[in-house]
Structure 1
Amino acid sequence: MVVIQNFYLYLTALVTISQSRVNNAQLLPPLNPPPENTNSDFISLANRYGFQPLQHEVTTDDGYILTLFHIPGRSKYPVLFTHGLADAADLWLLRGENSLGVTLANEGYDVWFANSRGNRYSRRHVSLDPDNNATYWNFSFHEMGYYDLPAIIDRILNETQKPSVTAIGHSRGNLMFYILGATRPEYNSKVNVMISLEPICHLTNTKPPVMTILQAVPFIDQLFNSLNITITEFLGYNSTMTRLVRAYCTYPNIGNELCLNTIIFPLFGFDEKELEPSFVNVFIYHFPAGTSWMEVLHLSQLTRKDFSQFDYGTAQNVLVYNSSVPPAYNLTLATMPFALLAGRNDRLSTLPDVGVLRKQLPNVVDYTVNRRALFNHADAVLGRHMPDYLFPDIRRVLKRYNKRP
């Protein structure tokens, strides 16, 4: 109980800071300039590795304007990458020649990189201003699966004139496809195969401190509601909270290791050989990239309930769903082929929880527990030696399902 209270107070302080309207310059310590090899955005990263990416704007049925990046390939068979919570397309390129996005692009795949609503690249709407309209932030991963993915997939298929896409997701980037298949089953045939790296869906076996933090989230929300304070954006790319994290993680001499040992490794799993201190200076300028507080609330819901839509509370649920409880997602309708690639050292996506998901999905065509014992949640996108222990499993699935012309 003491641990939960401590995390409760800690997160309350962080959210308070992130919502503060005071002068940021007065709050923040001097921020080290980004190293030259970080680059500032996806376009500059892609240029650095020899590509000339295209940028598409995709508007969803509910008015969100998303940025979709495209590195054209010789095969013209589309591969769609979807990122995790508070993440962006950048992380698929950050390891350069050893990153999955660069590797597949170099091999001739036609690669597309999604950015979910609310992150640094998709922070726009046809009528709502994210800085001044709290309504903009009324979304979770449900809307990403129900609105974002159909708009993105349709754009890709229209541009390529292909019947389906191959998808590769990380963490929450997989969860969106489970929702897509369950709520819009007509899209199952438009996904050739969905490769899920460190899939999340059920979080009942998530390990501390991740579990402790997620369990504290509803109490933090209740506290701020009682104070008539509305939390909207969470971990915005340019927010005070994110700038504080960057300052902490890049503090001269000690920041890199402190960041790894007090934030990254405890949350995602320890693996010092794959995530070295010097690399912190690179990824911390690309992650976090922003999401909504509502999505964090929905994620916390997965620790104590079945996989279901957002729980607004009894009274609001009746208005929204005509039921006192949110409807559960019917995963038997998600019939697209899924390949689940999991790790034994993942503190967020644990093997018992992935096992439950595996039993619920009707068309799991590949289930692989990574051969590397220390393989964790971050290694799937940031590991130094991913080509050795991860890419062979991905290529095996691609070879089976990608009929490249």
Structure 2
Amino acid sequence: MQLTILLLTAMFLQRPATAHLHPHTFLTTPEIIRARGYPAQTHHVTTSDGYVLQIHRIPGGRSGGQGVGLNGLNFASSGKNSSSNNRGNQKVAFLQHCVLCSSADFIMNDPDQSIAFILADLGYDVWLGNARGNVYSRRHVRLSPIQPEFWDYSIDEIARYDVPAMLTYVRKVTGSPTISYVGHSMGTTVFFAMMNYHPQINNWVRVMAAMAPVAYLHNARIFQYYATIIDALEISVTQLGIVEFLMNNPGTSKLISVFCSPFSPVKAICSAIRLFLFGLNSDYVDKNYQSVILAHNPAGISSNVLRQYRQFNISRRFQAFDHGAARNQRQFGSASPPRYSLARVTAPVGLFWSDGDWVVDSLDVKQTASELSRVVLNYRVPLGDFNHNDFLWAENAKDLVYGQLVRLLEAYN
């Protein structure tokens, strides 16, 4: 059996197999952006606790800032095209990724089907964030990723240090005092939590678009169906001392991408894995682009971030990371972690969610909406099997989500 697996692996990794892969499969985020015909920049931001984060920027569209049309409508741009030295651009969008994701997840489709490209063509100066620990943000002024201390962080630190540092930098470079914020999954969690540390940042945000918003998770079907497996995995991770979770290296990226290519005889396994992780396999993702997605995702994160989401589920609370009574007492001044208040989010928020999402349940969205101070849009995707990551990768996300999202952003610009 082992010999068979080795032979199959060797066969798939030969040139004829990789030749069938999409040419973007092993490109970086800036390389994919340029391959699509857009300008790309790479910036670095150092947080106050020493993590060096990489941000990717699309400072202009292919059409010189003119709206390319979405859902049959033509959104005119402000005419203020961005450049590296353009200070004062009033159409700035910052996009923050999900757990185990990176900046790449916002460009995983054709230009008229990817939200980052759509916004760039509409005249937005688009910035793509990367949280500490993912493939683009694995540097620290003092620590190395091989040290466990590097991974001693949770959602709390991403919310307290990473996103504020990136937003501060974007405002400084662009000269724009306000920003439109687009988040998916964890990108929404850290936004909501951030306002408990830095409520003044509400004043920096014109509007926040929350795709698959995550604050409460006690109705999440992924935990209902797989709690036993998830908890067993968490125990194993703890016992083995694993602090970094699921980052593809070049070798595994190549192997997985070839196995999941359109011509692979085992590609059905890839679809089964997607079903296991994200729910109904909606089949709205371009199969020819699946190798690109799997080469970039998962992008790596601290194990504590995944533990914290399980804590949300078990505690039925939106709260800081539970380190245990002793460390909680030292860090928070109480044996239990403090709750995050959604009422401290006073910027206008638009919620985008789907019944087919196994991670974000409609009941949890309802509770989130009831506690936010200013929900200006509560949008349910009108397709029952639209799943958690379809918000990013589905070919029909343009019609089902991005039209509404662009209208929301344009209403505040």
Question: TM-score scaled by structure 2?
Answer: 0.84
State the Cα deviation string for residues 157-214 of structure 1 (Å, max 9, x = none).
Answer: 1011111110111111111100111221111111111100111111111114x54545
> Aligned equivalents of 1:373 and 1:218: distance in 2?
29
Task: Decide which of 140, 149, 156 is 2:170's aligned counterpart.
Answer: 156
Taking a change above 3 Å as real, the CA distance of residues 46 and 241 of structure 1, as seen in their structure-2 partners, is: closer
Which residue of structure 1 lines up, in the alignment, with residue 65 of structure 2? none
Contact residue 242 and residue 288 of structure 1 kept, 8 A: no
1:47 equivalenced with 2:34 (yes/no): yes
Cα root mean square deviation, aligned: 2.4
1:237 CA displacement: 2.5
Which residue of structure 2 lines up, in the alignment, with residue 12 of structure 1? none
Task: Decide which of 134, 140, 158 is 1:119's aligned counterpart.
Answer: 134
> Aligned equivalents of 1:380 and 1:195: distance in 2?
12
State the Cα deviation string for residues 295-334 of structure 1 (Å, max 9, x = none).
Answer: 1111111111111100111222122212111111122112
State the Cα deviation string for residues 65-116 of structure 1 (Å, max 9, x = none).
Answer: 0001111131632100111001011111110221111111122111000011
Which residue of structure 2 lines up, in the alignment, with residue 344 of structure 1? 355
Correspondence list, 1:4-403, <5 A: 29-30=9-10, 31=13, 33=18, 34-73=21-60, 74=81, 76=89, 77-97=91-111, 98-130=113-145, 132-208=146-222, 210-213=223-226, 216-223=229-236, 225=238, 227=239, 229-238=240-249, 246=257, 248-250=259-261, 253-260=264-271, 262-305=272-315, 306-402=317-413
Taking a change above 3 Å as real, the CA distance of residues 96 and 371 of structure 1, as seen in their structure-2 partners, is: same
> Aligned equivalents of 1:230 and 1:273: distance in 2?
37
1:39 CA displacement: 4.4
What SS class does the counterpart of residue 303 from structure 1 fall into?
Answer: helix
Q: Which amino acid is 2:322 matched to?
A: D
State the Cα deviation string for residues 356-379 of structure 1 (Å, max 9, x = none).
Answer: 111111111111001223222111
Taking a change above 3 Å as real, the CA distance of residues 123 and 211 of structure 1, as seen in their structure-2 partners, is: farther
> Aligned equivalents of 1:316 and 1:27: distance in 2?
50
Question: TM-score scaled by structure 1?
Answer: 0.86
State the Cα deviation string for residues 257-304 of structure 1 (Å, max 9, x = none).
Answer: 2211x2112322325441243332221111111111111111111111
Percent of residue pairs bearing the same amino acid type: 29
Q: Which amino acid is 2:381 matched to?
A: N
> Aligned equivalents of 1:247 and 1:67: distance in 2?
28
1:252 CA displacement: 5.4
> Aligned equivalents of 1:247 and 1:213: distance in 2?
28
Contact residue 96 and residue 182 of structure 2 kept, 8 A: yes
Contact residue 28 and residue 244 of structure 1 kept, 8 A: no
> Aligned equivalents of 2:236 and 2:167: distance in 1?
39
Contact residue 286 and residue 394 of structure 2 kept, 8 A: no
Q: Which amino acid is 2:220 matched to?
A: T
Contact residue 256 and residue 280 of structure 1 kept, 8 A: no
Contact residue 259 and residue 266 of structure 2 kept, 8 A: yes
Contact residue 166 and residue 193 of structure 1 kept, 8 A: yes
Contact residue 59 and residue 151 of structure 1 kept, 8 A: yes
Contact residue 211 and residue 303 of structure 1 kept, 8 A: no
Q: Which amino acid is 1:103 matched to?
A: I
Q: Which amino acid is 1:317 matched to?
A: N
Taking a change above 3 Å as real, the CA distance of residues 332 and 64 of structure 1, as seen in their structure-2 partners, is: same
Structure 1 spans left out of the alignment, 5+ residues? 1-25
Taking a change above 3 Å as real, the CA distance of residues 292 and 105 of structure 1, as seen in their structure-2 partners, is: same
- Size of the aligned set, in residue pairs, is 373
Taking a change above 3 Å as real, the CA distance of residues 246 and 49 of structure 1, as seen in their structure-2 partners, is: closer
Contact residue 39 and residue 45 of structure 1 kept, 8 A: no
Contact residue 165 and residue 191 of structure 1 kept, 8 A: yes
> Aligned equivalents of 1:377 and 1:103: distance in 2?
20
236-245 or 331-340: bigger deviation: 236-245
> Aligned equivalents of 1:167 and 1:100: distance in 2?
12
Contact residue 86 and residue 119 of structure 1 kept, 8 A: yes
Contact residue 257 and residue 295 of structure 2 kept, 8 A: yes
What SS class does the counterpart of residue 343 from structure 2 fall into?
Answer: helix
State the Cα deviation string for residues 193-239 of structure 1 (Å, max 9, x = none).
Answer: 1100111111111114x5454565455444554x5x31111011218
Taking a change above 3 Å as real, the CA distance of residues 221 and 391 of structure 1, as seen in their structure-2 partners, is: closer
